[in-house]
Structure 1
Amino acid sequence: MNLSNQQNKIISISKRQLSDMPAMQFPGTTHVIDSSEDITGAIEILRKSDVIGFDTETRPSFRKGQVNTVSLLQLSTRDDAFLFRINHTGISPIITDLLEDPSILKIGVSIHDDFHNLNKLTHISPQGFIDLQNYVKQFRIADNSLSRIYAILFGKRISKGQRLTNWEAEQLSSAQQSYAALDAMACVHIYDYLSAGNFNPDESPYLMEISDDNVLAEKTSDNPA
């Protein structure tokens, strides 16, 4: 292997390659937490997990100058995703305690943006977090969106069709629930796969020269989460 040549390569997937992949279906169980009475039990389950996936959703704004606050907080184990409807319940102190607990590993994408928005509701000093946007760099993955990282590793596409839906609807649709749950659980899947040493960058079909014109052209972020 020519190490110098390998060092001049990164891993990036194109929009076309991503769109051609089959859609990933949420594989776990979803729990919608829309009353304060249900928060304690959900947090107790989450605290038993050695790793938690993290994400948030905010009702989109289509009017200039209108800014909405975070509607939904998603926290997931490997099997169960809890969707906290914080526009209904607020952010309970036991949720804050979990997010600030350095002993519990939490995985997300673009975490800074999530907490910038959450801190508009209550002050939170996040600890114990790994941001996949930074973590994947050691594997030479240049793309920083959840859907692209997931596609590179697993060959499946995370649909973003529900991202701009109304997260403050009276009832979340099944499609919204699956979308939100998958975004959090996918963070755990990615971390588990990479941390276990299951990914060899040199064998990735998406390895390309850094100088390729399409690297910059194709690099986009589909979330913020």
Structure 2
Amino acid sequence: MRRLFVQTEKDFVTNLPRFVFNGEIKVIQRIEEVAQAVERLSSSEILGIDTETRPSFRKGIIHKVALLQVANEDLCCLFQLSCFGFAPDLIHLLSNKAIKKVGLSLKDDFFMLSKRHKFDPLNCVDLQDYVKEMGIKDMSLQKLFANVFHQRISKSAQLSNWEASVYTQSQKLYAATDAYACLKLYKELKRLKETNDYLL
């Protein structure tokens, strides 16, 4: 039986081994590349979703979503919306009720994405709501992942420039890991919840 914290302490996370996505990372910079990437992702039953926005250090300045990350078990596509906008194929993917989309604070991500183009996301699971039903109070991806897997997700690239035309390796790894971590978390939490194989 898995022992989980109701709330994970920051000190617990600090010394854990680092987790990174080790599948294929594909950066999509041109709208002509979107359809093929979406086709590859659409064969999956469940996808991990995340977004990144250029940080603003001035009050009242909010940037549009620069990056949409979509991951399955083997592939994470980094769609640079700052280069080509919110492409119709991506809107169709997020609105496809046959594919479950999993993320953390998805409502916020989708609200910000809708500022680029209105859309109707379907078949979505927000991990924050999911863990509340299990009695877990952790709301951050880093703490949730540490709680369930005893591994640490680095947040060092979080405040980097997501509107850059070329990403650093650390940006790519950070972005892909966040999206994949949502998928990995959901699958394990679902298993624990359905089997009641956990203690708080």
Tell me, yes or no, whether TM beats 0.5. yes
Matched-pair contact (CA < 8 Å) for 1:193–1:199: no
**How many matched pairs?**
195
Equivalent of residue 168 in structure 1, options 143, 163, 171? 163
Matched-pair contact (CA < 8 Å) for 1:11–1:201: no
The C-alpha deviation readout for 1:145-169, integer Å capped at 9, x for no partner, is 1111111110001111111000011
Deviation at 1:10, TM superposition (A): 6.2
**Counterpart-to-counterpart distance in 1, 2:187 and 2:107:** 22
Deviation at 1:89, TM superposition (A): 1.2
Report the AA paired with residue 49 of structure 2: F
Equivalent of residue 80 in structure 2, options 85, 90, 108? 85
Matched-pair contact (CA < 8 Å) for 1:11–1:143: yes
What are the ranges of 5 or more consecutive residues in structure 2 without an aligned counterpart? none
Q: Does 1:30 find its partner at 2:25?
A: yes
Equivalent of residue 196 in structure 1, options 188, 191, 199? 191
TM-score by length of 1: 0.83
Which residue in the other structure is 1:183 paired with? 178
**Counterpart-to-counterpart distance in 2, 1:85 and 1:10:** 36
Report the AA paired with residue 194 of structure 1: L
Q: RMSD over aligned Cα, in angstroms?
A: 1.5
Which residue in the other structure is 2:126 paired with? 131
Matched-pair contact (CA < 8 Å) for 2:83–2:165: no
Equivalent of residue 149 in structure 2, options 134, 148, 154? 154
Deviation at 1:95, TM superposition (A): 0.7
Deviation at 1:120, TM superposition (A): 0.9
What SS does structure 1 have at the residue aligned with 2:133?
A: helix
Report the AA paired with residue 94 of structure 1: D
Deviation at 1:199, TM superposition (A): 7.2
What are the ranges of 5 or more consecutive residues in structure 1 without an aligned counterpart? 1-8, 208-225
Report the AA paired with residue 111 of structure 2: H
- Which structure is larger by alpha-carbon Rg, 1 or 2? 1
Equivalent of residue 46 in structure 2, options 48, 51, 55? 51
Which residue in the other structure is 1:222 paired with? none
Report the AA paired with residue 90 of structure 2: I
Equivalent of residue 114 in structure 2, options 103, 116, 119? 119
**Counterpart-to-counterpart distance in 1, 2:196 and 2:42:** 28
Deviation at 1:67, TM superposition (A): 1.4
Report the AA paired with residue 180 of structure 2: M
TM-score by length of 2: 0.93
